[in-house]
Structure 1
Amino acid sequence: MTDIVVLGSTNMDLVAYVEKAPQRGETVTGREFRTIPGGKGANQAIAAARAGGAVSMIGAVGNDAFGSRLRSCLETSGVDTGHLRTTEGPSGTAHIVVDDEGGNAIVVVPGANGTVDHLLPGDESLIASAGSLLLQLEIPLAAVVAGARAARAHGVRTILTPAPARPLPPDLLDATDLLLPNEHEAAALTGLTDPRQAATALLERVPEVVVTLGAAGSLYAARGAEPLTVPAPRVTAVDSTGAGDTFAGALAVALGEGRPVRAALEWAAAAASLSVQRPGASASMPHRSEIEARYAS
């Protein structure tokens, strides 16, 4: 039984660590460089699997060394890769600069992810078998819409992280149950910088919204209910890359287990707070025992 299906991207993250990120035209010296498996789709899949979910991944990697490593990382983390395609050419890459305050700037080169523009035979039946479908926007929009429609047709909860932020077509929003933007994405979607106002505006399009607020926690809004703000644990961030994906994966697991909304958001926040204290995206994602210990404390 698959609890969660993730339809999305796989990237190799090429990460440079610097004291301060360069401005346009500026060159700075970094202190460290790492290659770390990532991509918003793969990150959410790994986060959900480590949090205790039974997870399957739909996406693509290239037939290069990065592709082999990406597939291996997913499988080692407990993600089923039977629907992960291998295509001719390079895998996706993300070029990331992380500064000493834990902030980051990212350039994504899609590679194999650009070939995921439709569902293959068997993908819809896999989605139909799940409790939740996790979606992001690092693969062609046609596939995201097709996945959301398949989930809606089979009564599967769809959780959409609208990143990278872009205008969302009505047919995608119509098939989305829970929209999960960060505060910047919420502002980009609505033109409203206040997260509460943005969440209220987004409720005209989807039934539930969670706006993640970084160190300030998260804001939950649903039609016919009062907004709910849940704080995040206080920690010192080392690298925020992948924190939002950690939150998404853990939240899908918590909701799938039937936890009340507040408890699910607190549990997801505990997972994200652990991830920001470690470098990298997938490499920083905590296991269920760690999340439970942080949540209990």
Structure 2
Amino acid sequence: MPVNRHPRLLAVGITYRDLVISGIEELPALGEERYGTDVVATWGGIANTARIAASLGARVQLLTGLGEDPNSQACRRELTDWGIDLAPTPIHPGWALPVTMSQACGTERAMTTVETPLPTPFPAPNLDGIDAIVSHISVPAEAWLHDAAHAGIPVIVDHGFEEGCESGLLDAVSGCTCYTPNAAEAMRLTGSDDPVRAARTLAEHVPVVIVTCGGDGIIGVDSRTSEEVHVPAVAIEPVNTTGAGDATLAGLAWTWQWQVPLARKLDIAALVGAVVTSRARGTADPLTPEDLLAWVPRDPERLGCLTEVLS
């Protein structure tokens, strides 16, 4: 079946300088010292999604914030080396790239961030030729994102929160094509105690809702086609979960326009997130189509479509 393996994606959101320690058997309490097995310095946030999508073959433009600090300068060099087009990204004099320290322990991680908000909102970019937009959405959402969705450009968004729902979030995502919360976020936002019911409720506001449920897989509800699917997780031994959601988002955006059932797109997105999670360096290293094809023999019934579309 013909598919566009090289879609033009615009990734939008904040980039972080991530310092990630993995292989920790137990997260430390205050006053304790624990030892990990690996440490990696990489670029997190939306840069995770941009890098993984680019390594899978997408042609990626990145609209993020960069300053004039050493981290911002290094970020520009390294992302450009990955083939990512940073032309849409403005420079903010006096602003520094946020930094996150992450400690990964099995399926959990603990993070500490130093961040100053961007001094100005993201400018409206040139969307000529863009096949899809993938964004860590802000609240309120940039008006041009909703305009793009209304004009027919798929806008796929997520928005993380830890302890509560940000006021206005539902309005922000409702103007988009697809919203991808995790199960906890979806249930908090809808007041539901079940991720399937939460997905159905959110699909009354957003055309497509994809709820990631960790080891319980991914739930997808497409109100446009009445598709409702629940695909299982890909069985792996988690090593570094930092950026796993961003990688799953990249897999979803990469396959968005493929003429395959929603379940197959979610299978591939789940595989992308799982492979990244199973590696000590996580999203810091490329993930190629050949890496995905290597998993097909493990579950040919579920993943066999990859051989057909990528060969």
- State the TM bucket, normalised to the shorter chain: 0.7 to 0.9
In structure 1, stretches of 5+ residues that fail to align are none
Q: Amino acid of the residue matched to residue 134 of structure 1?
A: V
Whether the 8 Å CA contact 2:21–2:38 is kept in 1: the answer is yes
Q: How does 1:1-297 map to 2 (within 5 A)?
A: 3-17=8-22, 18-23=24-29, 25-31=30-36, 34-87=39-92, 88-99=94-105, 101-111=106-116, 114-120=118-124, 123=125, 125=126, 127-137=127-137, 140-142=138-140, 144-164=141-161, 166-169=166-169, 171-223=171-223, 225-295=226-296, 297=298
SS of the residue corresponding to residue 61 of structure 1 reads coil
Distance in 1 separating the partners of 2:290 and 2:236: 19
The Cα RMSD (Å) is: 2.3
Unaligned 5+ segments in structure 2 are: 1-5, 299-311
- Please report the TM-score for the alignment, with normalisation by the length of structure 1: 0.87
Secondary structure, counterpart of 1:16 in structure 2: strand
Kindly indicate whether the alpha-carbon contact (under 8 Å) linking 1:47 and 1:286 is maintained by their aligned counterparts in 2.
Answer: yes
- 1:83 and 1:244 mapped to 2: Cα distance? 24
4-13 vs 149-158, which deviates more?
149-158
Paired AA for residue 275 in structure 1: V
- Asked whether the equivalents of residues 158 and 180 of structure 2 are also in contact (C-alpha less than 8 Å), the reply is yes
Runs of 4+ in 1 over 4 A off after TM superposition: none
Once the two structures are TM-superposed, the CA of residue 66 in structure 1 deviates from its matched residue by 1.2
Deviates most, 161-170 or 236-245? 161-170
Q: Using structure 2 for the length normalisation, give the TM-score.
A: 0.83
What SS does the aligned partner of 2:259 have?
coil
- Sequence identity percentage: 23
Cα distance per residue 1:206-238 (max 9 Å; x no partner): 111110111221011122625211112211111
Q: Which amino acid aligns with 2:158?
A: T
Letter in 2 for 1:155: G
How many Å separate the matches in 2 of 1:205 and 1:43? 27
